[in-house]
Amino acid sequence: MMTHELADDCEKPACPYVVGIRFAVTVHNPPPPFGGGSYRGNPGPRPWEQYRQIMDFTQTQYCVKDLQPDEPSRSATPPAASAKSSVKPPCHGNSPAPMTLASAPRRLLAIDSLIRSGDQVGAQVVTCHWEHDAHKTKYVAKIYDPLYYSFEEPDHPGMPTDVVWTAARDYSIEAAAYQQLQAYEKSWAATDPRDESKNIRGCYPAFFGSFSITFKLVCNGKLYTRIVPLILTEHFPSSMESQIVTKTRNNPNGWGKLRVVELPGTEQSRIHTFARAASSFMRLTMAGVGQGDFAPRNIFLVGEPETAEFRVVIGDFNIAKIFPLMTPKRAPPATIDPISFCEDPGWEDRFCDWLPPWFFTDGEKRRACLREEFSSGKP
């Protein structure tokens, strides 16, 4: 494959998702989930484009390629609500076109802190609260803005990738996964509330809906309106803000954030926490959503271990398989053997820092421990 360099993107605004900014948001109806082999029946907003169709665009140009420019064209102005928005340095003597917010607010959402934010990082993840909320209840917003996804193919440096399609796919699947889990929980409460093995309450972050932000963006001298979707979910103070910062292989000049989960100190409590995480994952799968990435980075510990309020929560559903919406439709498994699930050898690479070495080498001791954790034989 020929080497290629991405063009300088002089018109790209600095990432606006910073502490202190307020966004006017409206309720948004997500499209049906699409993408990959799981959702062939839903084509999505448009077909995925290969790099050969993209390589002549900058990321800014590509993000407005399918949009009609506003009329009349005029310069955009910086968002008045941005308290700490930075300005990107000029490129070859040209200042970047600033970004502005729409003038039709429904509710204002204020960013409090950053979990994952910046250019080339994928979906932006921030903590936020509703403006004028006297209690300032915190939420987590996951914002699917293709302008700040990585524009470079992960395995092919210098080659662009279809960020518009990818961001829309992530949003469509994640929103549908939460909607499916909410529907299942409502059905369970109405029909079978005494069967606790089917209870998923607390196994996933509470979901508070889908919304969108409207941005104005100048590109090639024309003004465009972009609609950027987001979802709001439950905020876990101790778990979500525990993180370290590392450079990534595919983005050596940028920064990526990896969460660090503070695990209970004893060997027994760590095994118990792993079993609780596996239970949450299996219950969600039986509820119709195969999360697809059982790993420490997607597990949140809420509350103090060994207390009734302690929860082990599974998050991040952008690659989930939502069985009732797949093509063809699939029925979720009626049950999963928890011991077989926890003995999957693939977990060693992911959970070697969670579990003692003997858990992966001493099968008899491991099974005795897991039989104690899953005494009912159910997740």
User: What are the pLDDT digits (tens) for 195-241?
Assistant: 888 899 999 999 999 999 999 999 999 999 999 999 999 998 765 44
Quick: pLDDT tens for 133-150. Answer: 999 999 999 999 999 999
Residues 211 and 230: beta-carbon distance below 8 Å: yes
Quick: pLDDT tens for 306-358. Answer: 777 889 999 999 999 999 999 998 999 999 999 999 999 999 999 998 899 99
List helix spans (H) across 144-290.
163-191, 237-240, 267-286
Quick: pLDDT tens for 52-99. Answer: 999 999 999 999 999 999 976 454 444 434 334 343 444 544 433 333
| pLDDT score recorded for residue 286 | 96
Consecutive H or E run containing 364 = helix 363-373
Sort strands 207-219 and 222-234 into parallel, antiparallel or unpaired.
Answer: antiparallel
How distant is the alpha carbon of residue 114 from its chain centre?
14
DSSP for 28-96, written as a single string:
--PPPP-BTTTBTT---SS----GGGTTTS-HHHHHHTTSPPPSS-------TT-SS---PPPBTTBPP
Burial class (CB in 10 A: 0-12, 13-18, 19+), 178: buried
Consecutive H or E run containing 339 = helix 338-342
Query: Three-state secondary structure along 157-175?
Result: EEEECCHHHHHHHHHHHHH
Q: How far apart are CA 58 and CA 92, in angstroms?
A: 15
| pLDDT score recorded for residue 194 | 79
Q: Is the pLDDT of residue 38 over 70?
A: yes
pLDDT band at 262 (very low <50, low <70, confident <90, very high): low
Higher pLDDT, 340 or 155: 340
Q: How far apart are CA 235 and CA 212, in angstroms?
A: 19
